[in-house]
Amino acid sequence: MKPTLLALALLAAPMMATSAAHADACDDRVHGLQQSWDHVNFEVPQGVRAAEMARLNTQADAVVAQCPSRAEPLIWDAIITASEAGLRGGIGALGLVRDARSELERAAALNPRALNGAAYVSLGSLYAQVPGAPIGFGNRQRARDYLQRGLTMAPADIDANFFMGDLLVREHDWDGAARYLLRAIDAPARPGRAVADRGRKAEARALLARAQQHH
């Protein structure tokens, strides 16, 4: 006997509930990664920060595996991977930044607007900071293009403005850098991100002072 429409609805209900619960669990895991990165990147002492970031990277890999269809875990895994690369430094870090780039490209393909375009902002920061060919893939024009995409989606975003300011400092465009860094300093507070906001604004003030010295 064929199931009735009501029976089909009843069969579907637990699946929808499970899907919603899975989405909530993924959101909770992503929030946990964000909070942990804020703490490790801005509060953990420099001497132990690399080890803590590597440990967090392992956790982020697990979240990506648990939530394979979501862009947000990929973005945070990439941010954490790139942060570990920055702490390690040297040629050995290039493999990590390539992994981060791949994850950000996947995240942008899944959902370019996830986390206010954070995949594009993070790609921009990578292309700005990584050495160019033949050592790495750094490219300042690509950095600018990605950062501009992020700024188009979220013009007041603290990170998008900070990293555009950072790029312009690298290009010795002191006036342009100052404009974006001032926007980062004046960016609105993000709920639950007080640690990151405080740390990023301190970095922006330091870069702004450097830009103003060359004005």
CATH code where residue 68 lies: 1.25.40
Residues 180 and 210 in one domain: yes
User: Could you report how far apart the first and last alpha carbons of the chain are, in Å?
Assistant: 81
Evaluate whether residue 111 is within a structural domain: yes
- What global pTM score does this model have? 0.88
E strands, 61-181, in order: none
Q: Which of 139, 163, 198 is the last residue of a domain?
A: 139
Task: Please give the structure tokens belonging to residue 23.
Answer: 């989405």
**Using the 8-state DSSP alphabet, how is residue 43 labeled?**
T
Q: Which domain holds residue 177?
A: 155-215
Task: Please give the structure tokens belonging to residue 61.
Answer: 């890999």
Evaluate whether residue 107 is within a structural domain: yes
CB atoms within 10 A of CB 79: 27
CA distance 76 to 149: 19
Residues 101 and 192 in one domain: no
Residues 129 and 37 in one domain: yes
51 pLDDT above the threshold of 80: yes
Mean pLDDT of the chain, nearest integer: 90
User: Residue 92's pLDDT is what?
Assistant: 80
CB atoms within 10 A of CB 152: 11
Reported as a single tens digit per residue, the pLDDT across 185-202 is: 999 999 999 999 999 999
Please count the structural domains in the chain. 2
Q: Do 60 and 98 meet the contact criterion of CB atoms below 8 Å apart?
A: no
